[in-house]
Amino acid sequence: MKPNGKGLRSIFLKGGTKPFFISVKIMKALILSNPKSFSIVDRPVPKPCEGDVLVRVAAAALCRTDAKMWHSGHRDLELPRVLGHEVSGFIDETPDQLYALWPGKACGNCKACRKGRQNLCPDMQITGFHRDGGFAEFLTAPRSSLLEVPEGVSPLMATLAEPLACAVHGMRQGAVNAGDSALVYGGGTLGILIALACRESDASVMISDPDAFKLSKSEEFRHRFGITTDTAAIGEGGLVDVVFNATSAYETLEAGVCRLSAGGRFCMFSGIGKRAEIPGNIVNELHYRELEVVGSYGCTLDDMREAIRLLSCYADDLHFLIERRIRLDEVPSVMDAVLAGKGFKYVIF
The CATH number for 204's domain is: 3.40.50.720
Same domain as 246, residue 314: no
The answer to whether residue 7 is domain-embedded is no
- Is there a domain that residue 170 lies in? no
pLDDT tens across 122-152, in order?
Answer: 999 999 999 999 999 999 999 999 999 999 9
pLDDT band for 13, please (50, 70, 90 cuts).
Answer: very low
Residue where a domain stops, chosen among 252, 278, 295: 295
Residues 77 and 51 in one domain: yes
Same domain for 49 and 101, yes or no, is: yes
Give the Cα separation of 87 and 204 in Å (integer).
31
| The domain boundary residue, chosen from 295, 311, 328 | 295
Q: Mark whether 62 and 77 lie in a shared domain.
A: yes
Per-residue pLDDT band for 212 (boundaries 50, 70, 90) equals very high
Question: Does the global pTM surpass 0.85?
Answer: yes
82 and 222 both lie in a single domain: no
At residue 76 the predicted structure's pLDDT band, cuts being 50, 70 and 90, is confident
Least confident of 62-76, 81-95, 164-178, 193-207: 62-76
Q: Which domain range does residue 249 map to?
A: 175-295
144 & 259 share domain: no
Number of Cβ within a 10 Å radius of residue 75: 5
Residues linked to residue 208 through DSSP beta bridges, in sequence order: 185
Asked whether residue 5 is domain-assigned, the answer is: no
Using alpha carbons, select from 12, 7, 64, 57 the residue that is nearest to residue 339: 64
**214 and 99: one domain?**
no
316 & 249 share domain? no
Please identify, among 257, 272, 295, the residue that sits at the C-terminal boundary of a domain: 295
What is the average pLDDT value for the chain, to the nearest integer?
91
Q: Is the domain of 129 the same as that of 21?
A: yes
Same domain, yes or no, for 44 and 185? no
pLDDT level of residue 21 (50, 70, 90 thresholds): low
Model confidence at 327: pLDDT above 70:
yes
Asked whether residue 1 is assigned to any structural domain, the reply reads no
Residue 259 lies in a domain: yes
CA distance 12 to 24: 9
Q: Is residue 169 included in any domain, yes or no?
A: no
Residue 58 belongs to domain with CATH number: 3.90.180.10
Residue 314 lies in a domain: yes
Domain membership of residue 202 (yes or no) is yes
% of the chain with per-residue pLDDT over 70? 90
Indicate if 60 and 208 belong to the same structural domain.
no
Based on the domain organization, do 284 and 309 belong to the same domain? no
331, pLDDT greater than 60: yes
Q: What is the total count of domains within the chain? A: 2
Residue 74 pLDDT grade (very low, low, confident, very high; cuts 50, 70, 90): confident
pLDDT in tens, 36-70: 999 999 999 999 999 999 999 999 999 999 999 99
Bridge partners of 206, per DSSP, are: 183, 228
85: CB partners within 8 A, 6+ apart: 63, 65, 66, 101, 103, 126, 127, 128, 129, 133, 134, 162
Measured in degrees and rounded to the nearest 5, phi and psi for residue 204 equal -90, 145
